Each structure stands twice: as structure tokens, then as C-alpha cells.
Amino acid sequence: MPKILVIEDEQLIREDIIEILTSHGFDSVGAEDGLMGMQLARNYHPDLIICDITMPNLDGYGVLRELRLSSQFATTPFMFMTAKADRASQRLGMNLGADDYLTKPIGQNDLLEAIATRLHKNLYQTNTKDLILSLQTAEEKLNYLSQNDTLTGLLNRYAFRQRFSNAIANQTSLAVLIVDIDRFKRINRTKGYIFADLLLQLIAQRLGQVIGTKDSLARLNADEFAIIIGRNNLQAIAATVASNILSSLSQSFTIDKQELRVNLSIGIAFYPEHGQNLDALMRSANTALQHAKLGGGDAYYIYTTDIQEPEDSLELEIDLYKAIDRDQLQLYYQPQICLKTGKITGVEALLRWEHPHYGSVPWYKFIPLAERNGAIMEIGTWVIRTACKQMKAWHRLLSLQNLDLIKVGVNLSARQFQQSNLGQIVADILTETTLDPTYLNLELTESTIIQDVEASISRLNYFKSLGVEISLDDFGTGYSSFSYLQQFPLNTLKIDQSFIRDMSTNSKNKAIAIAMIQLGHNMNLKVLAEGVEHKAELDILVESNCDLIQGYLFSKALPAIELESLLLQDQRLIM
């Protein structure tokens, strides 16, 4: 499968190009600027590079000059993009060694034709029969991959969109069902990804058996499928199909002599009542799906314009205000490990709520409620104060044992970060608990701090003036912009676990993770990898000089008393 690197500073353009390439079977990855592109090129070894000319930090000409100096990229096809047709720019690009020149906006057909031409020429120049045969085989495979999911053989997202367009041209009403596997991440985590992939294949087969055809059945992403139904008596048929799916997939699956049962949630929406196009229709079906999940899952729900909150939502919202006073909230702590020493150097504080009636309430159920009703302010302050108190208590114990002191990371939500007096709250808590500020690490996501750059810089600079450290959480899932990262006073980048997962077999994830580590180090930042679960992932991170890790390979999040035991035993990671 040809690998293509897209270097483009405009996020929408970059994502559109990658989506087109992925839907047509190319293995593609994107970089937001020239420096990131250079790092990805070295790690990803692309077969073709598409690069914008005008970019911050290092422009397209600079990228091409640097790459052509390396024997590794001396003959790699390189295509420039520009927003205007400029003959002088074209001549300069061609003189530097560019192979082609594309003018934005680029149509899908023009893009694919240019790529095909470049790849054909590059292979032709090798003048070997084996490569020509390989190209023919690749073209056949690309024709298949442009329409089908590689794991299950079902329609992919691109083909599903085409199928929907064809369907509405011939029918006046349709139903779309989105089928989601409940708690699939837990299966991935406990059984492994090979087991999970085999399960997905069996689920796809059973779904095809229920609906009687695979012509309108697609896999949208890891654990989500979609179905188009176009028949008479549509509402009754859709409900029957959903019921049959739930019934069929409730029967156990056997993989490697292990028996497993899964639960599903299904959201249903109808065209044209719930959406005039596929995007609107999918949003409605997803809303219904989430309603089914909040009800406990293992159910289907048909979208209505007046979908109400789950019955327990109002009660939870009321109880949330009382959770602190009733001592129902508690913090768990997940260790963060230094890869040079194997020692615990910090922990991340994670919030849990034990409700007397509902039991352990998932964070994704009560944190949005707290954000919406403002309870997150009081809860967030409680989390910071409790974490600082606990850290001060641990410091006393560690000092008595002549052990190194550790830091605590506390997540700040978007609404909490916008509090005008948040800086004063943090300062007061540090004074109250007498915790050295350098041992408090505030963690924020990219989407939170990018909402108002100037205000974010001001707040973060205040925290830095206190001595508090700042981590950028879930790095890679948001903007991942080199240009704005330089503006913020950060200490640590936390690479999101989606890039760490399965690195040993996923070359794209590996290349991106290594490039992020190099990027962080070039900016004098520490880099922490989240969600490390396997030794193979650890080995790659150690080899790439990653600074810190956290994840199930060492320990899950633990109650304070259990984490304290690890600290006093000076428990270390064996590498």
C-alpha cells in the first residue's frame, strides 16, 4: 500500500486530502508544518510527499532542499501545492527537484490522477518487471480498498456515503442505523487487539446474516457499523432489524476456545424527517445512539426531535451538588514512570464518584453534567485541594524514608480553566497545604487552551509565576500545531494513547509518536506517553528517548492507600 505524507498548515485542507487518500486505499499521514513534516518523513518513509509552499517555521522550498540532500529522499516523488498559479514559483520548485505542481483548490480527480502519474513514473523508471507487476497488483488492491474496509470486507465510510447518495436518488424515504459495541475498549485492553479484530470480523459476519445482504452495511470506525434500509413500512422494518441484531449478537462468540458475549447500542434516524443529507442524518442517529447508551446500552433508540434526558440525569445532577458534602467523591492516582530510572516520579489524579444508588458513576456521565450546571467549579477546586493535601502527606512519608518526592497532575476542564479567579484559587490552596508549587502539575487539553489564545497565555504565565508546571494533555488529538505550541509556557507534552496503542505493528502510529517525541525535545519539553500497555510499546519509547510513561503496563489508577504502598516500597518498572 503506497504511503503518502501530506504537509499542509491549514487543518481543513490537510484533513480533506488525507480523507480522500485514505478512502482510496493509500496509507497517509499529515504534518502541520515543515519541521514536523521533516521528522515524519524520516520516520514514516513515504513513497510520495505532497507539500504546501507557504508554511510557518520552514516553508515547502526548505523542506524540499533538506530532503533532496539526503540519499534516502533523493528520488522520492515530491509534489508542491500553492493557492495561486505562479510560473516563477513553479520554476523554482522544479529547479529544486519537485516532480509536480498542484494549484489549490485541488479537485479529487485531479489529485488522484497526479498521484497515480507520479507513482507510475517512479516505478517505471526502475525498469523492472517485478515492480510493474507489483503496481498492477497494487492497483487492483486499491480498487478494492477504495470501497471496502480492510478488516471486515464491509463498505468503508466513503463507499457508504456513495451508497446513500444512490439510495436517495431512487427512494423517497430511508432509515440509517448506527450500531456501536458497548465497552469495546475494555475488550481491546483485556483480550488484546488480535482477539478484538477477530471479534469484529465475526460481528460483521453476523450483522450481514441478520440484514440478509452486505450491500448496505458499512464499518465506520473501530467499533461502529452503519446500515441503510429502504423499504415500505420503514419504521416497523427498522425496529425489527434492530431487535433482530440485538438478539443475534447477544449469542456468544467463540474465539480461540474463549467464549465472549457483547452488548450493542443502536441509534436509528429516518430520511428526510431527521436529516436532509447524510451528515445531518448521522448526527440524529448518533444522538439516538447516545441516548440508548445512557440508558445502559444493549438497546436501540429511534431519534425524536424532543429526546429527553435519561430519567436518572436530573437526579444525578441534583446529587452531584451534594457529592462533596456526602464524601462520595474520591481520587485515584495513576503512577507516571521515568524511563531513565524506572522510578515513579509523579501521579495523575483521577476523579471517581461512588453514588449510593447507582454505584460507580462513569466520569463521562457526571463530568458533562458538572460542566453544564456549573458544579465543576466546586468539584474542580475540591480535586486540586485534595490532591495537594495528599501530595503533602506523601512527601512527609517519603522524606522519612529518604525517598524522592513526586509530583501530582490535576486535570482542568474547559469551563474550570475559564474561571477568572482560578489563579487565586490555586495560589490559596498551595498556601493552605504548604505544598511546594513545583510538585503540582496542571493538565489541559489542546482544545481548551486554543479557545482564547491570549487569555490562555495570560493564565498559564500566572501559574508559571507561582512555580506550577503545565502539561498539554491528549497531544495529537486536537490541533497539534507547532506554531501555537511555542506560544504557551509548557513543561510537558502528553502523547495521547491512541498513538501509543499497537505501535509495534502500526507503522503510522509509530512514526507519529516518534516525531512527537522529537518535536517535544526540540522545544525543550518533557514527553510523556499515555496508555502504555505492552512491552513492545515500551521498547519503542525507550529507544526513542521518551521521558515518561503511564499506563496499565506498570499500574492502573489506584486508591491513595494502594498507591502509597507502591511509593514506600520504591516500586520500579522493570525494563
pLDDT at 483: 60
In this structure, what C-alpha cell is assigned to residue 475? 497531544
Residue 267 lies in a domain: yes
Residues 15 and 94 in one domain: yes
Which residue, of 272, 302, 332, is where some domain finishes? 302
pLDDT at 567: 95
In this structure, what C-alpha cell is assigned to residue 452? 482564547
Residue 317 lies in a domain: no
pLDDT at 506: 82
Which helix (H) or strand (E) is 5 found in, with range? strand 3-7
Residues 131 and 256 in one domain: no
pLDDT at 309: 44
What is the Cβ-side half-sphere exposure of residue 399, based on CA atoms within 13 angstroms?
6
Mean pLDDT of 271-288: 86
CATH for 490: 3.20.20.450
pLDDT at 482: 59
Which residue, of 101, 121, 145, is where some domain finishes? 145
Residues 294 and 383 in one domain: no
Residues 552 and 480 in one domain: yes
pLDDT in tens, 354-402: 888 778 876 767 877 787 677 888 999 999 999 999 999 999 999 999 9
Residues 111 and 204 in one domain: no
Q: 183 lies in which domain range?
A: 157-302
pLDDT at 283: 85
pLDDT at 124: 53
Residues 278 and 327 in one domain: no
Residues 357 and 504 in one domain: yes
Q: How many separate domains does the chain show?
A: 3
Residue given cell 504557551 in the structure block = 488
Burial class (CB in 10 A: 0-12, 13-18, 19+), 88: exposed
Residues 92 and 193 in one domain: no
Mean pLDDT of 523-549: 94
pLDDT at 560: 95
Residues 563 and 415 in one domain: yes
Residue 309 lies in a domain: no
Residues 501 and 369 in one domain: yes
Q: In the predicted model, is pLDDT for residue 88 greater than 70?
A: no
Residue 311 lies in a domain: no
Least confident span in 11-15, 125-129, 298-302, 462-466: 125-129
In this structure, what C-alpha cell is assigned to residue 209? 446474516
Residue 283 lies in a domain: yes
Q: In the predicted model, is pLDDT for residue 39 greater than 50?
A: yes
Residue 574 lies in a domain: no
Interatomic CA distance for residues 179 and 268, integer angstroms = 9
Interatomic CA distance for residues 64 and 69, integer angstroms = 9
Residue 575 lies in a domain: no
| Of 406-415, 424-433, 444-453, highest mean pLDDT | 424-433
Least confident span in 139-148, 176-185, 323-332, 399-408: 139-148
Least confident span in 360-374, 411-425, 460-474, 508-522: 360-374
pLDDT band at 215 (very low <50, low <70, confident <90, very high): low
Least confident span in 115-129, 286-300, 449-463: 115-129
pLDDT at 429: 97
pLDDT band at 137 (very low <50, low <70, confident <90, very high): low
Interatomic CA distance for residues 497 and 262, integer angstroms = 24
Residues 118 and 187 in one domain: no
Short-list 21, 69, 58, 62, CA closest to 36 = 58
Q: Name residue 302's amino acid.
A: I
pLDDT mean across residues, the chain: 84
Residue 151 lies in a domain: no
CATH for 24: 3.40.50.2300
Which residue, of 122, 145, 168, is where some domain finishes? 145
CATH for 253: 3.30.70.270
Which of 481 and 253 is assigned the larger pLDDT?
A: 253
pLDDT band at 127 (very low <50, low <70, confident <90, very high): very low
Residues 296 and 334 in one domain: no
